[in-house]
Structure 1
Amino acid sequence: MTDALVRVFDTEENDRTLRFGDRRISITPAVEQAEGGPLSAYSARFGRGERADLPAPYEEVWVVVHGRIRIRSAGSEVEIGPGGFLHVPEDSPGEVEALEDTALVCVSVPAH
């Protein structure tokens, strides 16, 4: 049996937070590829009205902690709010838009 270490994270920004220029979008890594696991996890924050392209070269599951987002992809549109889950397939085309100030928890496979 290995000595697994259970760690706790939250969605608050910290010294590892990455910001995207003057936009109100940030990502805070929690679990990264360098740690040797099969997945990555991070929190993301979007200020109301911010938009970002959706494609990523890995699969992700997003959970909205607070706020509300709209996803446009492949001719469809969905909105999700607190407690909602979203599966984002690898290389999905589309756009995410924050309808309110929003915090997400995201898990990616494989790790990056």
Structure 2
Amino acid sequence: MTHIVPTVRRFTTDADDRSVPLGDRRIWITPAVEASEGGPLSAYSAHFGRSERAELSAPYEEVWVVLRGELRVTGGSSELLVHAGEFLHVPEDSPGQVEAMVDTDLVCVSVPAH
């Protein structure tokens, strides 16, 4: 049996050849840690152009760390503004929408890995 030794890695929020656009919008997702690596979580960076919106709901829990910019997160009757240096917990299947108030970069960590 082969034993895989964990390796510490560094990532940036810069788009690269693995970046994936969300449709024709100015939203880019760049994978970092993926389920195919066999770990318990996934991590990726995301860039939202100003005024871009996306649905919030996902079939896994996430923590989002806003590195630059500002997001408005709405769901039901609640609304949150999340600024650079702040982070939020997004429970599994949370209804709502996220909107970038300005160009925004964030890092997302998801459990379980996907």
User: TM over 0.5: same fold?
Assistant: yes
Mapping 1:52-63, distance limit 5 Å: 52-63=54-65
Code of the residue aligned with 1:40 in structure 2: it is S
Deviations 1:39-88 (A, max 9, x none): 00000010000011100000000000000000001210000111111100
Structure 2 gap ranges (5+): none
Distance in structure 2 (CA, Å) of the matches to 1:40 and 1:21: 22
Looking at structure 2, the residues matched to 42 and 76 of structure 1 have their Cα atoms a distance apart, in angstroms, of 26
> Which residues of structure 1 form unaligned runs of 5+?
none
Give the length in aligned residue pairs: 112
- 1:27 aligned partner, one-letter code: I
Find out whether 1:36 has 2:48 as its counterpart. no
Report the aligned-residue RMSD: 1.2
State the 1:4 CA deviation: 2.1
Task: Provide runs of 4+ in structure 1 moved above 4 Å.
Answer: none
Match of 1:79 among 78, 81, 87: 81
Rounded Cα–Cα distance in structure 2 between residues aligned with 1:62 and 1:20: 18
- The 2-side partners of 1:3 and 1:108 are apart by 22
Using the alignment, how far apart are the partners of 2:10 and 2:36 within structure 1?
18
The reply to whether residue 64 of structure 1 matches residue 69 of structure 2 is no
**TM-score, structure 1 as length reference:** 0.96
Residues of 1 paired with 2:46 and 2:57: CA distance? 15
